[in-house]
Amino acid sequence: MPMAQIPNWIPAAPELFIAVMIMALLMFGVFQKQSSAADGINTSRVVSYMSVAVLALALLITVAFAGDRVAVFNNLFVTDSFAVFTKVLVLFASIVTILMAQGYLERHKMARFEYPILILFATLGMMMMISANNLMSLYLGLELQSLSLYVIASFQRDDSRSAEAGLKYFVLGALASGMLLYGSSLVYGFTGSTDFFQIAAAIELSSEHGLNIGIIFGIVFILAGLAFKISAVPFHMWTPDVYEGSPTPVTAFFAVAPKIAALALFMRVMVGPFGGLVAEWQQIVIFISIASMLLGAFAALNQTNIKRLMAYSSIGHVGYALIGIAAGSEAGIQGVLIYLVIYLVMNLGTFACILSMRRGDQMVEGIHDLAGLGKSHKPLALALTIFMFSMAGIPPLAGFIGKLYIFMPAIDAGLYTLAVIGVLASVVSAVYYLRIVKIMYFDDVTETLDRTSEKTIGWVLALSSIFIVALTFYPAPVMTNAAKAAASLFAG
Amino acid sequence: MIEALAFYMFAAITVASGVLVISMRNPVHSVLFLILAFFNSAGLFVLLGAEFLAMILVVVYVGAVAVLFMFVVMMLDINYVEMRQGFLQYLPIGGVIGLILLVELIVMLGGWHLEPELIATGAAPMPVPISVTNTQALGQLLYTHYVYLFQAAGMILLVAMVGAIVLTHRKRTGVKKQVIRDQLARTVEDSVELVKVETGKGI
């Protein structure tokens, strides 16, 4: 019997590295002495920093091995500039959220070493999603990510809100996975393959005989499953509850990394295998985009809890990102990628602010607790002002550039309604972003917040505000890399 | 001839133990008959040449599922007499479902009987060369073509395990554990105190 050949694993080196290190760190954590609470905190701190090192190394490997499109493992796994670009974003988001979380976890007696390891698992799942080139590898990556997220949503297991968040996320996530699987089975049934290249070929072949209704049904179900994962309307219901109930560092992670990975997957699936059916899926994407933008703008107006507000804000931002996908062009995808970079930085910064909202031992989450911040915490208030102005899309901050590069391709593609509604929604959403600024600087002080002394959070705040301001003047690196990534998605 | 005998033996015991599973008064006996049913269905799979499926049935269903049932039955305090009272109430809907299944079977088998070439239209299983058993064939696919998916599935199971431990494991205080080393290290001096009791007085 012939020996099986070892497949070419080099393109998947970052994933393999993370997977191996997860197991090593798990073993390390389990066999540490856990006799007292201080031991537990110590172990969690060590594992946290080692996880950051692992992710940083994986980031280096990802960048170092970047190259042309290669599909390995029997075409189950693909890597190209697009994958590298989004993987870098996801890895960066995970690194920053692990670093920001440590202080919170220690204060709230949930510093256990499993937390960074579950984040590593989720990151691995996201990287597998980004590189998926087959409906099966797509599903497995998605499940690996989702399962880890369900667990960390209820990580504060003594708190009933956290447990509720995890349970809600799990039940609705399982429903979404079911829809995704049903869609995948339809697509497999009508195209005869789960491989993205072959699905694209089959669709091209069948389009000569007119539309195949079964494939359309399959796409609709896959879209519904993916829309749930990016929390686009009408599959957004879980978002505010999960964001509010989860521990704040977990919410910070939810708001950035999984969104980026799921949007990357969304782009890969829509442009890759279903690229030949743009006209069919475009109307669905336009609808969920408009609905998300409007809901994100109007539903957030009445929110007083800042985590809930950020949930609606992220629904709105996903709506804007979907405009770029709806355009269906290379410029549109480039716009989405730029938007994702800016979204990532703005959210990390804002959550760093939320993580420093503390009074005594308690975290406060109401937006009215921010009153007087402009006088008592000048740097924090300044940073939050920058993020809020940027989220509202006010020039010359980065948020404006992101929206600009989203709306331009939409206009080019003739999607005028979409662009107009997008601009109007962003005017409405400016109300609640600017209200936070108003509360910070002009409202009467009742009780001031504590001074935060955490260095990492300070660094995140400083660096992200600098990035938001500087991007306007020096956008070239982000632009060129995003353009390269978008081009590689269309090259196949 | 022997094959037919074996088939009828396995099939009859499967059906009989299936009936016994739902008619036993003692739920523990029900689970035991369920295990018997699983074993005999595994025998049927072996007769079909699907020995991998047979082993999986025994390992997964007998080894895990039935044991889990046993745990549930023994640990939960369920009033089985009360549960049985609804039997007549559920009989009609159960009967309807059974009838639908029967009709579907008759339609399919009747179709094959009337037009034998219909059998070939369904997706036939891959023809397996005599030299390769189906366990080997599965392994050759799983560890070569689909090694990526196989490993990914393994990672998902690991997450499930880590997650279950993270969410439920608690450190209990005041649990007495047997530490054999400590027991062996005890000496007579540590544990026995000799007291001289004077006659007529307590200690």
Tell me, what's the pLDDT at A2? 59
In a domain, B8, yes or no: no
- Using a CB-CB cut-off of 8 Å, the residues of chain A touching B160 are 147
Q: Which of B153, B162, B171 lies closest to A117 in CB terms?
A: B162
Q: What is the distance in angstroms between the Cα of B179 and the nearest Cα belonging to chain A?
A: 16
pLDDT digits (tens, 9 = 90+) for A240-290: 999 999 999 999 999 999 999 999 999 999 998 998 888 889 999 999 999
- Using a CB-CB cut-off of 8 Å, the residues of chain A touching B162 are 26, 114, 117-118, 121, 151
CA A424: distance to chain centroid?
Answer: 24
**Complex ipTM:** 0.92
In a domain, B107, yes or no: no
In a domain, B12, yes or no: no
What total of structural domains would you count in chain B?
Answer: 1
In a domain, B135, yes or no: yes
Which among A3, A35, A76 is the top mutation candidate for probing chain B, defined by the most B β-carbons within 10 Å of its own β-carbon? A76
Q: How confident is residue A6, by pLDDT bands cut at 50, 70 and 90?
A: confident
Closest by Cα among A118, A125, A128 to A97:
A118
Say whether A147 and B160 touch across the interface (CB within 8 A).
Answer: yes
The more confident residue out of A1 and A7 is A7
pLDDT over 60 (residue B128): no
Say whether A151 and B146 touch across the interface (CB within 8 A).
Answer: no
In a domain, B150, yes or no: yes
Would an 8 Å CB–CB cutoff place A154 in contact with chain B? yes
Closest residue on chain A to B144 (Cα): A4
Closest residue on chain B to A22 (Cα): B155
The first and second tokens of residue B169, run together, are 């494991």
Would an 8 Å CB–CB cutoff place A136 in contact with chain B? yes
In a domain, B185, yes or no: no
In a domain, B164, yes or no: yes
- Supply the range of the domain harboring residue B147: 128-170
**Secondary structure of chain A in HEC code, one letter for each residue:** CCCCCCCCCHHHHHHHHHHHHHHHHHHHHHCCCCCCHHHHHHHHHHHHHHHHHHHHHHHHHHHHCCCCCEEECCCCEEECHHHHHHHHHHHHHHHHHHHHHHHHHHHCCCCCCHHHHHHHHHHHHHHHHHCECEHHHHHHHHHHHHHHHHHHHCCCCCCHHHHHHHHHHHHHHHHHHHHHHHHHHHHHHHHCCCEHHHHHHHHHHHHHHCCCHHHHHHHHHHHHHHHHHCCCCCCCCHHHHHHHHCCHHHHHHHHHHHHHHHHHHHHHHHHCCCHHHHHHHHHHHHHHHHHHHHHHHHHHHHCCEHHHHHHHHHHHHHHHHHHHHHHCCHHHHHHHHHHHHHHHHHHHHHHHHHHCCEECCEECCEHHHHCCHHHHCHHHHHHHHHHHHHHHCCCCCHHHHHHHHHHHHHHHCCCHHHHHHHHHHHHHHHHHHHHHHHHHHHCCCCCCCCCCCCHHHHHHHHHHHHHHHHCCCCCHHHHHHHHHHHHHHHHC
pLDDT digits (tens, 9 = 90+) for B136-187: 888 888 888 899 999 999 999 999 999 999 998 887 777 888 888 888 888 8
d(CA A214, CA A288): 21
